[in-house]
Amino acid sequence: MIMYVKLVVADFVKASNFYDAFLAEFGASRIYEIENNIAWSTSVRDTSLSITKKTDSEQVPRSDGYVVAFDVESPEEVDRIFNRGIELGGTSEERPAAVEELSLYVATLRDLDGHLLRLFCVKA
């Protein structure tokens, strides 16, 4: 249903390096790159995440009202990808933990611009 999510970033080079490595954890790679805009996906038919460089007059919005959520296969993968995001310069918002009432395992971090990235898996 959703084709892409676009995030505005302050430092385009740093953000592109972060997402190159972070999204590689999901098997995603760049599907296009044009002036000040890059998108990653696992295929051109799947949902993509893109970044765009902020303009001089544009503010990078702090992500307190939206979350980019990633479906992950296992709690171990949530832990691994969360730790990779922190290694890449992201900051911890919610350490990996079980949410028993929803049968989920969840972790949340912020990217270099403060956008919220949530990793979750449904526990069987």
Residue 70 has what pLDDT?
96
At 42, is the secondary structure helix, strand, or coil? coil
More reliable by pLDDT, 63 or 35 = 35
Domains and CATH numbers, the chain: 4-122 (3.10.180.10)
Q: What average pLDDT score do residues 15-22 get?
A: 98
Asked which of 37-46, 52-61, 65-74 is least confident by mean pLDDT, the reply is: 52-61
CB 74 within 8 A of CB 106: no
Whether 34 shows a pLDDT value over 70: the answer reads yes
Of residues 81, 83, 85, 62, the one with CA closest to residue 72? 81
Neighbours of 2 (CB within 10 A): 6
Model confidence at 66, in pLDDT bands (50, 70, 90)? confident
Q: Whole-number mean pLDDT of the chain?
A: 92
pTM above 0.85, yes or no: yes
